[in-house]
Amino acid sequence: MGGIWTRRIQLLGAISEIVGYKSGLGLTQEEYNELIPQKFHKLWFGESEALLRIRSEEFEELITYLLYKLGNIPSPNNYPFSLELFFKYKDDPKKISIYYDLMTEFLVFLKTGTEDSREKKRSLDPTPFIDYAKRKFKLDGFMMAIEILESFNLHLHRSPWGVYRQREWIDIIQLKDLFESESLETYYGKFIDQRYIDFLERNFGKIDNINWRKFEALTCEFFERQGYHVEIGEGRNDDGIDARVWNKKEDASGPPIILIQCKRQKRQIEKMVVKSLWADILEENAESGLIVTTSSLSPGAKKVCTARNYPIGEADRATLKKWLTIMRTPYTGIFMSE
């Protein structure tokens, strides 16, 4: 492939603009510096006005890698989607035969469907392609057709040469606000923005440094998405109760089923925290309590819960990682938009 001649400052600007547009996350120069892999250091670091040559495939690879590091795409691989699927199915005679047939049909569908969508000024409808796959190959065909569509969507999204992205973000949020801001304002989530969730799922170690209010918001977001009604505490004046949880909104006039206390800290949670939460449970007539922490309960705290039969649970570091995996963005795109 060809190469691109550009000044370093222009290259960095183009990359940050593309990645910001595709992911919906705005990063500072310092934040990008932490993400750049070693093999690209000579391109990335140096005099801003230096003239550089970067190959087209290197440019694509770097964009893909950065989107992956931000939790925006599932893999850092930049292979053509058709090749990835070929290698997946090449050793299965039945499925590779279906693959050849559907890929041929998909190319025809793209050509005719794109022309039709342009004329009618509407999105590309995948129904004819899916119907063809179901009629000819039943469930196997349907499943592979969906996989082809998803892989094609991902290919379009990670490509730096087009304006397609999986989601049309209303805004671009700053990554630094995950660590510095107490604001709970968000378009993509009730308590914390989905883009922060995706980033933390891919960069879990950063959870130790997020703003304490964002940590409370992350906890509330998880319970909200599990179908509960959640009210987050006032923050600085919540008397130690960071969130209250009910089965449904209509129950909120009565006692909560869970009182939550969030502790984003490295040291273990001591027994005084457990005793304090138990006092709150009694005062509010709640059913139980939960301590959510980036650490864990100390042996003494666990002993108190067991010995006194306190209805207090623990969501530790391992639990938080599972929550993030559950909440990360499912695939959306041009064919299967939300």
Both 37 and 147 in one domain: the answer is no
**What is the CATH classification number for the domain harbouring 313?**
3.40.1350.10
CA 323 remoteness from chain centre: 11
Query: Is residue 334 assigned to a domain?
Result: no
Task: Tally the domains of the chain.
Answer: 3
Residue 61 confidence (pLDDT) above 50: yes
Domain-located, residue 170? no
* Residues 7 and 31 both lie in one domain: yes
Residue 297 lies in a domain: yes
Conformation bin of residue 337: beta by default, left when phi > 0, alpha when psi is -120 to 50: beta
**If DSSP codes are grouped into helix, strand and coil, which group holds residue 82?**
helix
Q: Which of 127, 158, 189 is the last residue of a domain?
A: 158
189 shares its domain with 238: yes
Tell how strand 243-246 and strand 51-55 pair up. Answer: unpaired
Please give the mean pLDDT across all residues of the chain.
92
Question: 121-130, 284-293, 319-328 — which is least confidently predicted?
Answer: 121-130
pLDDT in tens, 152-193: 999 999 999 988 888 889 999 999 999 999 999 999 999 999
Between 76 and 4, residue with greater pLDDT: 76
Q: Within 2-90, where are the H helices?
A: 8-23, 29-35, 41-44, 56-69, 81-89
CA distance 221 to 227: 10
124 and 39, same domain (yes or no): no
Q: How far apart are CA 223 and CA 217, in angstroms?
A: 10
Q: Where are the beta strands (DSSP E) in the chain?
A: 3-7, 25-26, 51-55, 173-174, 229-232, 243-246, 258-263, 288-293, 312-315
Predicted TM-score (pTM) of this structure: 0.88
What does the pLDDT read at residue 112? 85
pLDDT in tens, 183-242: 999 999 999 999 999 999 999 999 999 999 999 999 999 999 999 999 999 877 666 799
- Looking at the DSSP bridge assignments, the partners of residue 315 are 292
pLDDT at 119 > cutoff 90: no
Asked if the structure places residue 183 within a domain, the reply is: yes
What is the arithmetic mean of pLDDT over 235-260? 89
Within this chain, do residues 56 and 86 fall inside the same structural domain, yes or no? no
Grade residue 334 by pLDDT with cuts at 50, 70 and 90.
very low
Among left, alpha and beta (phi > 0; psi -120 to 50; other), residue 257 is alpha
163, part of any domain: no
Question: Could you tell me the residue range of the domain that residue 121 belongs to?
Answer: 81-158
The reply to whether 118 and 90 lie within a common domain is yes
| Domain identity same for 59 and 89 | no
168 is a domain residue: no
* Residue for token pair 């604001």: 183
Question: What does the pLDDT read at residue 182?
Answer: 95
Contact assessment for residue 56 and residue 2, using Cβ atoms and an 8 Å cutoff: yes
Q: What is the DSSP string of 2-22?
A: -EEEEEHHHHHHHHHHHHHHH
Q: Where a domain ends, among 129, 158, 187?
A: 158
Does residue 164 fall inside a structural domain? Answer: no
Counting beta carbons within 10 angstroms of the beta carbon of residue 248, is it exposed (0 to 12), middle (13 to 18) or buried (19 or more)? exposed
**Cα–Cα distance measured from residue 75 to residue 310, given in angstroms and rounded to the nearest whole number:** 43
pLDDT classification of 337: cutoffs 50, 70, 90: very low
- Report if residue 214 sits inside a domain: yes
pLDDT score at 2: 73
Burial of 112 (0-12, 13-18, 19+ CB in 10 A): exposed
Domain boundary among 90, 125, 158: 158
Pair of tokens at residue 1: 């492939």
Same domain, 59 and 97: no
Q: Is 183 in the same domain as 212?
A: yes
pLDDT band of 37, cuts 50, 70, 90: very high
Work out the average pLDDT over 47-56: 94
H/E element, 274: helix 271-284
- Tell whether 53 and 17 lie within a shared domain: yes
For residues 245 and 221, membership in a common domain is answered with yes
If asked whether residues 288 and 204 sit together in one domain, one would say yes
